[in-house]
Amino acid sequence: MPTWKQKIQVGRPCTAFAKGVQRLGLLAGESVGDAFCASRNYDEIWMKKQAVRLGAIFVGWTLLAMFWAANRSLYRVTIGQPASFVETFRPILLDFWLWALLTPAIFYLARKFQFTRHNWARSSAVHFCAYIALSRLHEVLGLLLRIPAFIPAGFHGSLLKLRVVQSLNGDFWMYWPIVVHLEPCRVLPALSGA
């Protein structure tokens, strides 16, 4: 594994900055320039990793939306109604991309409030409250983006309240699998000694 000094040599502007600081005699030995370059290189690596993770999240939610839309279209064909995959896919994709935007927050909460023998009650309470809050946020965003929802004829109440109540079951299956999925990812490496 390369040291941070070896990583600095990768970026020319960084190395030039560090050498310039040393030439001016501002610092001897390991200069502020070296530390700055190492920090900048670390930040670039971290940003790339975050971009890859965010990309993977969006690809995963997009694939799930495609599966969901295909299933809906197949159902419509089965009951004898016309099915347009594109018309079905658009609102589902928007809905799932909202969950993709919320997924990093869920990952953060899942890491911060893990389920252990000693704190499972507190973690359960936090996750339940977060599930309700994120479900409501998801529906507020859905309302703002005008993602279609089933509204019974003659309904005169709050659209947001109706959307939240309608979505609690579906949102449950969006939030909790993410939280539960992270648990084996933490436990398995510990068991294998990694």
| Closest C-alpha among 111, 132, 135 to residue 123 | 111
pLDDT at 10 over 50: no
Domain boundaries, the chain: 84-192
pLDDT at 60: 93
pLDDT at 96: 93
Q: Which whole-number Å values give the CA distances from 171 to 44, 66, 159, 168, in the listed order? A: 34, 18, 17, 5
Q: Please tell me the predicted confidence (pLDDT) of residue 185.
A: 62
* Tokens at 128, concatenated: 């339940």
Instruction: State mean pLDDT over 8-16.
Output: 48
HSE, CB side, 13 Å, CA atoms: give it for residue 85: 7
**Mean pLDDT score of the chain, rounded to an integer?**
78
Reported as a pLDDT band with limits 50, 70 and 90, residue 3 is: low
What mean pLDDT do residues 151-179 have? 84
Average pLDDT in the 104-117 region? 89
pLDDT digits (tens, 9 = 90+) for 121-159: 999 999 999 999 999 999 999 989 988 877 778 888 888
- The arithmetic mean of pLDDT across residues 7-14, rounded, is 47
Structure tokens at 115: 């389920």
User: Which is higher by pLDDT, 134 or 189?
Assistant: 134
